[in-house]
């Protein structure tokens, strides 16, 4: 299951401390967008919409999209909570994955209605349920602002001052975007900072649930089949965007091709891949392999043990833990799969060959030799990270022990940062980012005190054991208590679980925060200075040192090979392409497509038990299904985490599938694209219609889709 949770995605986008434990690598401040990749291979690339690979598309697929085709697909593509989606009707109807929508479905569930487990269907529009905190955004325009950002860093200043100047310029551009256009502006660094691009987004802050199947249907095979293929999942869900209390008018939407895909056909994926590291230096990759990824895997495994134990204490606890376990298991498989790739001698040798070839080419060009020092700069920054690994990893991760700890820190920092000039604020608290931050902080959340207490105790235990009980910071956080007793004191004493209390604190620019003695806010006051020091040290010793090196290496590669290159994924909208193709696994030929026949055959071969249980609806209505209907398929399009919910379209721009996963060989693609057996896994369009019509009687949705597709 590719994708990120809403909390991880939006927290990183609008939260101040910007950390999330599934993404420890990002938390370490590593910038991994160096232009070192070998020549682009067939079906490779997550391309920005302002630099589509038109010659490559013509060469590989025999198809060159027009600007109108690209604009329509861009405007029909939607980002939701760190994942992807698309409009599929002119009335704001959105198609995404069940596993993307599940965090919202869990939030609106009640003791009598578990919408994750049992599914949801609004028979009338008046029954469509609002999803608090859910935001959809559409990329309206793209502008290259490289000269404006780079000019802010005056020559002759220290790297740290240059970095601060660039950050101030970025904050100003984002603020001006909101003031002049009403759109959310986000400046993104590509190729490590060789290019800066201003993305302008239209945001929909009123999303409502329309339809979702049962979890067993959406996630058939569960963890046993996750990152596997063949698959038999109905991993889809429908939401709707509203404006001013009415369905939003969305003239750019994707018509659905009811016939789905055929083998060998060209396809395109439009989505928001979260992060890749294909352009990282060898020094950075060895750091990932030796330190950051093993630490992330160990951390996730520890969290998994705690949440699993909690889920076994009762039915209510099992329901509360279901989404956390879903994402934990998903992230753990990703981290372990990526670590396995880093430990592959062939992958590392290929990266070394590419880096050496680039450096040799630079050495042969007198006009480029000034860029040779860039690798030494990056290596120095990585060496600093190695020397300070425990500090930046274990001290820096405490706010992410539970969502509420990070929330307390965000509330505290909001009250402090809004009093400062916009250019002097921490990232995440600039004027353009405040609306999203407040939505996130004020949204209802399904916290569990008992689970949160166990998770915070675990985080404090790890900190004490790794940094040392005598460390002044550790002693201050524990306040003379054991980790378990300190966590109990904080979690049971805080009022931040109360949504109304959080809202009251945020009024009047957070004036009440400064005098509030809530224990979790007091804990955040202990965290904040240390975290600011860590961030400042990372900025001075890593970001400010690496930034000029990134620019140099990218400029050198542009000079050698032109600008027909794609940057690493940054969580922004990208276009990928490929063909519908099966593959070989060991001695087995894996077909490109599965059917409902295969679903029932696989379920019955396991006696419909464990991860292979059919949903009640699938059991009861088997006789009504056309079992030969295609269910899932694979294609060679280049995807990664964050592409969940991405539409798969054909040459006519019609939706033929819905991305929901990649197979196991796709996981190490974060570092090096491997086309042989790596595949994108998608729900076939006919399966969506078949399920809506014959399994769920969702005829209102079917009628809207068919009318929109005429």
- The residue-averaged pLDDT of 106-122 equals 92
d(CA 76, CA 96): 12
Token readout for 433 is 């980012």
- pLDDT(18) > 70: no
d(CA 192, CA 374): 12
> Are 90 and 253 a contacting pair, CB within 8 Å?
yes
Residue ranges, CATH 2.40.10.120, the chain: 32-135+205-278+567-709
- The residue-averaged pLDDT of 330-337 equals 91
Instruction: Give the tens place of pLDDT for each residue, 415-446.
Output: 999 999 998 999 899 999 999 899 889 887 76
d(CA 604, CA 607): 5
Interacting residues of 52 by C-beta distance below 8 A, sequence separation 6+: 65, 70, 575
Confidence of residue 1 (pLDDT cuts 50, 70, 90): low
- The answer to pTM > 0.85 is yes
- pLDDT(611) > 80: yes
Lowest mean pLDDT among 4-18, 284-298, 355-369: 4-18
Residue with tokens 């079917």: 702
Residue with tokens 């578990």: 114
Please indicate whether residue 677 or residue 4 has the higher confidence score (pLDDT).
677
Lowest mean pLDDT among 349-353, 478-482, 512-516, 564-568: 564-568
- The residue-averaged pLDDT of 579-600 equals 92
Lowest mean pLDDT among 62-71, 153-162, 334-343, 683-692: 153-162
DSSP notation for 349-417: HHHHHHHHHHHHHHHT-TTTGGGTTHHHHHHHHHHHHHHTHHIIIIITTGGGSSHHHHHHHHHHHHHHH
Fold entry, domain 32-135+205-278+567-709 = Thrombin, subunit H (2.40.10)
Instruction: Give the tens place of pLDDT for each residue, 272-290.
Output: 999 999 888 999 999 999 9
- The residue-averaged pLDDT of 58-73 equals 97
Note the pLDDT of residue 41.
61
For the chain, helix, strand, coil in percent to 5 are 55, 15, 30
DSSP 256: B
Residue with tokens 């019955």: 604
Closest among 627, 630, 619 to 688, alpha carbons compared:
630
As a whole number of Å, the CA-based R_g of the chain is: 25
Closest among 222, 191, 232, 210 to 89, alpha carbons compared:
210
């Amino acid at each position: 299951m590719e994708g990120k949770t809403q909390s991880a995605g939006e927290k990183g986008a609008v939260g101040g401390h910007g950390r999330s434990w599934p993404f420890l690598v990002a938390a370490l401040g590593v910038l991994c967008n160096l232009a070192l990749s070998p020549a682009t291979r067939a079906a490779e690339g997550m391309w920005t919409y302002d630099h589509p690979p038109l010659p490559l598309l013509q060469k590989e697929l025999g198809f060159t999209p027009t600007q109108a085709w690209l604009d329509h697909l861009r405007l029909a593509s939607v980002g939701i909570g760190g994942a992807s989606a698309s409009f599929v009707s002119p009335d704001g109807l959105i198609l995404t994955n069940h596993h993307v929508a599940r965090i919202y479905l869990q939030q609106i569930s009640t003791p009598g209605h578990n919408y994750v487990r049992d599914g949801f269907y609004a028979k009338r529009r008046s029954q469509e349920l609002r999803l608090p905190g859910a935001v959809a955004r559409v990329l309206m325009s793209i502008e290259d602002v490289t000269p404006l950002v780079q000019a802010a860093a005056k020559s002759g200043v220290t790297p740290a001052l240059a970095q601060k100047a660039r950050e101030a310029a970025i904050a100003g551009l984002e603020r001006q975007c909101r003031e002049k256009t009403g759109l959310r502006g986000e400046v993104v660094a590509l190729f490590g900072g060789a290019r800066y691009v201003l993305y302008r987004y239209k945001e929909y802050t009123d999303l409502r649930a329309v339809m979702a199947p049962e979890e067993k249907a959406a996630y058939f095979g569960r963890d046993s089949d996750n990152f596997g293929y063949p698959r038999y999942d109905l991993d889809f869900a429908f939401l709707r965007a509203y404006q001013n209390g009415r369905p939003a008018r969305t003239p750019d939407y994707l018509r659905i091709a009811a016939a789905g895909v055929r083998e060998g056909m060209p396809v395109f994926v439009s989505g928001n891949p979260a992060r890749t590291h294909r352009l990282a230096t060898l020094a950075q990759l060895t750091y990932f392999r030796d330190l950051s990824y093993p630490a992330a895997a160990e951390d996730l495994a520890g969290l998994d043990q705690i949440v699993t134990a909690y889920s076994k204490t009762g039915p209510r606890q099992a329901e509360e833990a279901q989404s956390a376990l879903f994402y934990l298991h998903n992230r753990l498989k990703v981290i372990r799969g990526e670590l396995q790739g880093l430990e592959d001698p062939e992958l590392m040798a290929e990266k070394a060959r590419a880096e050496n070839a680039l450096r040799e080419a630079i050495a042969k060009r007198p006009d480029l030799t000034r860029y040779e020092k860039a690798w030494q700069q990056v290596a120095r920054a990585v060496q600093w990270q190695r020397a300070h690994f425990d500090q930046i990893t274990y001290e820096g991760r405490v706010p992410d022990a539970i969502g509420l700890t990070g929330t307390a820190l965000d509330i505290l920092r909001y009250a402090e940062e809004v009093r400062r000039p916009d250019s002097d604020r921490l990232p995440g608290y600039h004027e353009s980012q405040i609306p999203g931050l407040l939505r996130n902080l004020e949204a209802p959340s399904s916290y569990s005190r008992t689970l949160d207490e166990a998770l915070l105790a675990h985080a404090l235990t790890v900190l004490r054991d790794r940094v040392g009980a005598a460390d002044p910071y550790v002693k201050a956080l524990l306040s003379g208590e054991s980790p378990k007793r300190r966590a109990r004191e904080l979690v049971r004493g805080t009022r931040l679980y109360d949504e109304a209390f959080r809202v009251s604190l945020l009024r009047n620019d957070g004036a009440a925060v400064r005098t509030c003695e809530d224990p979790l806010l007091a804990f955040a006051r202990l965290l904040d200075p240390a975290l600011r020091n860590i961030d400042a040290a990372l900025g001075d010793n890593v970001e400010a040192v690496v930034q000029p090196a990134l620019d140099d290496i990218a400029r050198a590669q542009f000079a050698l090979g032109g600008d027909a290159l794609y940057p690493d994924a940054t969580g922004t909208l990208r276009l990928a392409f490929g063909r519908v193709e099966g593959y070989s696994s060991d001695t087995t030929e894996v077909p490109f497509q599965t059917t409902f026949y295969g679903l029932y055959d696989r379920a019955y071969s396991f006696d419909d038990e464990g991860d292979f249980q059919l949903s009640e609806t699938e059991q009861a209505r088997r006789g009504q299904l056309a079992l030969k209907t295609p269910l899932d398929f694979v294609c060679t399009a280049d995807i990664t985490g964050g592409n969940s919910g991405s539409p798969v379209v054909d040459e006519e721009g019609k939706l033929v599938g819905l991305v929901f996963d990649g197979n196991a060989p796709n996981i190490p693609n974060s570092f090096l694209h491997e086309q042989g057996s790596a595949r994108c896994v998608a729900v076939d369009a006919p399966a969506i219609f078949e399920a809506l019509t014959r399994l769920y009687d969702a005829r209102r949705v079917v009628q809207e889709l068919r009318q929109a597709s005429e």
